[in-house]
Amino acid sequence: MTIMNKEQQDMQHLGLFGIYKDSYKIILSWRKIFTKITLSLILPLSLMFLIQIQVSNSLFSNILNHSQQIISTPQNTPQFEKLSETISSEWLTLMAFKLLYLVLSVIFSLLTTSAISHTIALFYSSTHDDDEVVNLTKVLSIVKKIWARLMTTFLCVFAAVFIYNFAAFLVFIILALILNAYAGTQNYVVLGVASVFSIILVITYFVGLFYLSLIWQISNSVTVLEDSYGFEAMKKSKELIKGKMRLSLLLFFTIIVSYGLIHFLFMMFFVQGCDMKSVVTIAYGILWLLLLSHQILLGQVSHTVLYFVCKSYHKQNITDLSSFYLEYQPLKNKDVEVEKYYHV
């Protein structure tokens, strides 16, 4: 029995390796459409990410070098003024470049997420065995219709992350003031308790940030495939991963680690002291570009498969998704209401 014919209630039993296995099956089964999505959306996104690392590293290195020079330069001298202007200009350039990258990466990320989520939904609901039923132009035309919904969800997640970070910042500031007040005393018990509490807070902070990132990923699929978006999509995502929290966190963790590993290796073998004219360096750059593109595709597909696994676990079913491929209409709540599966 192929993955397309797999009854939805069976998906709830998929584990980490099962999700990756099904993700590869989907990609290979509909390799034509996913190749087009990769070439048109994922490859540019990957290229932007790697270029951003290279350019940012170069600009920041220049800032550090000039900052070291200005320390040993007498103030109120032409050389000091010139270095000061250069550093300010470099910081502005770096900030402008980062802002441009952020805008472009968000656009391409949302386009990629929506295109892949929609394609996988069609894969599960389609009666065909290949991607001939899916046309990239049609998928992208549908993506345009849900762009505002996806952006709303993104802004809501961004607002939640901002509030979370602001609250964490205040807590850390208060804790730092307490530690500073007891720093000159001999009360080692208080200092020890405060230090342990600080470590716990840092761990809790990163776990919370990790959780919000996971909610965002599932919210994208909810936004694309259902009629919910924004904070409502985030609420539904939170409810969906209940019961599958360990699997969700493990999947997200493995994907994040793979991104981090690619980033680390790219910095080590390509960015640090690379010769851009070297054939070996260029080969390394192409290798990291292909690896990152593959990982982004696999990550996006896996998150959408996880969405269907969570839907299956909660006995929720989405009926014939191929119908809104012809003329997109967001699925109404009545289409995704809980449907109980009764086993004899």
Model pLDDT, residue 317: 64
Q: What is the pLDDT of residue 320?
A: 44
Q: Per residue in 251-280, pLDDT tens?
A: 988 988 888 888 888 777 776 655 556 677
For the chain, what are the domain ranges?
31-333
Q: Tell me, what's the pLDDT at 60?
A: 85
- Report the pLDDT value the prediction gives residue 142, as an integer from 0 to 100: 73
Query: Which residue, chain included where needed, has tokens 């640090």?
Result: 272
CA-to-CA distance for 114 and 139, rounded, in angstroms?
9
Integer Rg of the chain from CA: 24
pLDDT score at 160: 92
Classified as helix, coil or strand, 316 is strand
Please state, in angstroms and rounded to a whole number, the distance separating the CA atoms of residues 202 and 35. Answer: 41
Which residue, 39, 15, 41, 241, is CA-closest to 140? 41
User: How buried is 216 (Cβ within 10 angstroms: 0-12 exposed, 13-18 middle, 19+ buried)?
Assistant: buried
The pLDDT value recorded for residue 110 is 85
Regions of the chain where pLDDT drops below 50: 1-6, 128, 319-320, 322-326, 328-344
Model confidence over 135-165: pLDDT tens digits? 667 777 777 777 788 888 889 999 999 999 9
Run of H or E residues at 88? helix 78-125
pLDDT score, position 341: 34
Contact 295, 255 (CB under 8 A): yes
CA atoms within 13 A on the CB side of 3: 24
Structure tokens at 223: 């936004």
Query: Which helix (H) or strand (E) segment is 319 a member of?
Result: none
